[in-house]
Structure 1
Amino acid sequence: MGKTIVEKIMSEHSGKDVKAGDLTIARVDAALLQDGTGPLAVKQLEGMDLVKAANPDRTFIFIDHASPSPRKELSNDHKTLRAFAEKTGVKLFDVGEGVCHQIVAEHYINPGDILVGADSHTCTAGGLGAFATGMGSTDVAVAIALGKTWFRVPETIKVNIKGKFKKGVYAKDVILYIIGKISADGATYKALEFTGPAVKAMSISERLTLCNMAVEAGAKTGVVAS
């Protein structure tokens, strides 16, 4: 029996054959934190005496949510992230340097990669054919320090999109329609694999839009074959 895109990526990164439902430890190609979730991850690493990054060139911290800081508590969080970046050598994108999902997609993610992020919309990068998923700050912290983390390989829902869009209809309308059909929890811990003639005709930005909102249906990730 053939494998889904997600099963292929997970198998390659686990060093063994895995299928939907399996628990596995997989190598992580890239990880991201943002200023809303990153301070907790840093505190977890400090508490575990693991203030390091296994792959600093592909570990990214973004100060892009409360940016610029509206109050002193958040300013202190920003200082924590800057200090962590300086100590570990990870890449820091400071105030005004860009939004995490856009920067990562434009410069750092390749088809077949695994990206984890302490942000629910990390799945955006699935539009490039990567397995990209949001995780809790602690899980992402471990992935940063060790270069690997645990996963349950998700089942896949194939979403075959046909036809041509009428004028004024965009990828955002398509994913909202799909979510309306399957509900806000209709794909919980599953992967939405978008395929079909309409998807093949989409631009990269449209594919990123589809995958960005997969989480709004409860999905672990959205993915488009590259």
Structure 2
Amino acid sequence: MAMTMTQKILAAHSGRESVSAGELILADLDLVLGNDITSPVAIKEFRRLGRDSVFDRDRVTMVMDHFVPNKDIKAAEQCKMCRDFCTEQNVTHFYDVGEMGIEHALIPEKGLVTAGNAVIGADSHTCTYGALGAFSTGVGSTDMACGMATGKAWFKVPSAVKFDLTGKLRRYVSGKDVILHIIGKIGVDGALYRSMEFTGSGLASLSMADRFCMANMAIEAGAKNGIFEVDETALGYMRGHGCAEPTVYKANDDAEYDEVINIDLSVIEPTVAFPHLPENARTFAGIGEVRIDQVVIGSCTNGRLEDLIAAAEIMKGRKAAKNVRVIVIPATQKVYLDAMEMGLLRTFIEFGAVVSTPTCGPCLGGYMGILAAGERAVATTNRNFVGRMGHPESEVYLASPATAAASAVTGRLTSPWEVAEL
């Protein structure tokens, strides 16, 4: 039976020769993930199940990243619960202050996911690992608890939308612009409970940072998961990060898709999602002056080294606009160290930015950059819902690192193409 990439992975993990869209299956899991916000609920549910131990201490991981270093007593108590549980269970991959990073950047960096894996995480952006050709999806904390206990999860097999990518990205255009363009095209429910499968000759134009960013935001189109066809770029990344031997699944030529959408990367322009939905995507043609108060560069979407390099290229030798707060958050300790050794941190600080330890902080309105009423932020994060980064009367504009940096230079929403010409 012809199957998509996702369907082949789910068939293999449910011990079946084939599956079809709409079927309910019980699948074996290669990794179960939680963070400091979602894991405490899962731990409580795990206790209620009466289990003495997790199904595999090497395949359960918890990353303390949302409110870490702890912002208040409640955050400290949540982290302590996770820390105590992972110590009790002798969990191999527990990441805390000094070792942690933003989970969806850290997990691939540590080589914990490989092509062909089935992964669940109690965080909606777990779909990030589809960049490596894995099936990965976000679940609730109760599903995480059951996954920790049994190593299995129930799924309804998703149908799929195929994105056939051609062409090559232009300078200062990145995966963030591509995924915002796509979400603007299909809407925030355009791939509802479907798999977004990316393939085509245009893959050669996309770095791994581009792919992680695009897979990360599949959930913003309502998708069950995003997944990229595995090529030599992905295989090289997996070899370089010590991932387990990959199992590469390629969709059958006659696989059934709900629709096929052609995307020419060469025509994509710097793109911004206006408040208050990621689907409100616009290019700079016809945009009036939008003054801003804050810029945040980081998150599980755009806090990788390549993202910081793109921002630093725009910032170098320039100064932040007066009255614009600029916050740069490397996604992991390794990214932080690499950025330091490359001199990027000096560039950021001389520009007038602050550089934070890795944290999700401002992305979800937690800390490290909360907005007041009436303030506007350009952020390389993934959501711009009402009140997402602070006061419900604030506004968040989603953009690439290059666009965010360009906006920090001028103090208004600005295309990197404009700043590059200055």
Q: How do 1:193-208 residues align onto structure 2 when only pairs under 5 Å count?
A: 193-208=197-212
Residue 101 of structure 1, CA deviation: 0.9
Cα separation, 1, equivalents of 2:204 and 2:36: 35
Matching residue of 2:96 = 94
Higher mean C-alpha displacement, 134-143 vs 99-108? 99-108
SS in structure 2 at match of 1:18: coil
Matching residue of 2:61 = 60
Letter in 2 for 1:61: M
Matching residue of 2:42 = 41
Letter in 2 for 1:219: A
Residue 177 of structure 1, CA deviation: 0.3
Higher mean C-alpha displacement, 168-177 vs 191-200? 191-200
Matching residue of 1:156 = 160
Higher mean C-alpha displacement, 28-37 vs 91-100? 91-100
Letter in 2 for 1:40: V
Contact 2:195–2:227 under 8 Å retained in 1: yes
Deviations 1:76-133 (A, max 9, x none): 1111001110111212100242121112112111100001000010000000000010
SS in structure 1 at match of 2:55: coil
Residue 206 of structure 1, CA deviation: 1.3
Cα separation, 2, equivalents of 1:199 and 1:51: 45
Contact 1:42–1:51 under 8 Å retained in 2: no
Higher mean C-alpha displacement, 125-134 vs 1-10? 1-10
Letter in 2 for 1:21: G
Letter in 2 for 1:4: T
Greater gyration radius:
2
Identity %: 42
Cα separation, 2, equivalents of 1:201 and 1:141: 39
Letter in 2 for 1:69: N
Matching residue of 2:121 = 117
* 2:212 is the alignment partner of 1:211: no
Cα separation, 2, equivalents of 1:21 and 1:208: 27
* 2:15 is the alignment partner of 1:15: yes
Matching residue of 1:75 = 76
Cα separation, 2, equivalents of 1:203 and 1:51: 43
Residue 73 of structure 1, CA deviation: 1.2
Cα separation, 2, equivalents of 1:36 and 1:44: 14
Cα separation, 1, equivalents of 2:83 and 2:227: 32
Residue 166 of structure 1, CA deviation: 1.5
Matching residue of 2:368 = none
SS in structure 2 at match of 1:161: strand
Cα separation, 1, equivalents of 2:88 and 2:207: 39
Cα separation, 2, equivalents of 1:74 and 1:165: 41
By percentage of residues, which structure has more helix? 1
Cα separation, 2, equivalents of 1:191 and 1:178: 14
Cα separation, 2, equivalents of 1:206 and 1:102: 12
Q: How do 1:103-114 residues align onto structure 2 when only pairs under 5 Å count?
A: 103-106=106-109, 107-114=111-118
Residue 51 of structure 1, CA deviation: 4.6
Cα separation, 2, equivalents of 1:123 and 1:116: 9
TM-score with structure 2 setting the length: 0.53
SS in structure 1 at match of 2:61: strand
Contact 2:167–2:205 under 8 Å retained in 1: no
Any unmatched runs of 5+ in structure 1? Answer: none
Matching residue of 2:417 = none
Deviations 1:179-206 (A, max 9, x none): 0011011111111001111123322221
TM-score with structure 1 setting the length: 0.97
Contact 1:126–1:211 under 8 Å retained in 2: yes
Matching residue of 1:140 = 144
Deviations 1:6-59 (A, max 9, x none): 110000000012111110000000011000111000011112212521121121
Letter in 1 for 2:179: I
Letter in 2 for 1:129: G
Contact 1:31–1:116 under 8 Å retained in 2: yes
Letter in 2 for 1:162: T
Matching residue of 1:175 = 179
Cα separation, 1, equivalents of 2:77 and 2:160: 41
Letter in 1 for 2:44: K
Letter in 2 for 1:175: I
Bigger relative CO (Cα 8 Å, ≥ 6 apart):
1
Higher mean C-alpha displacement, 42-51 vs 147-156? 42-51
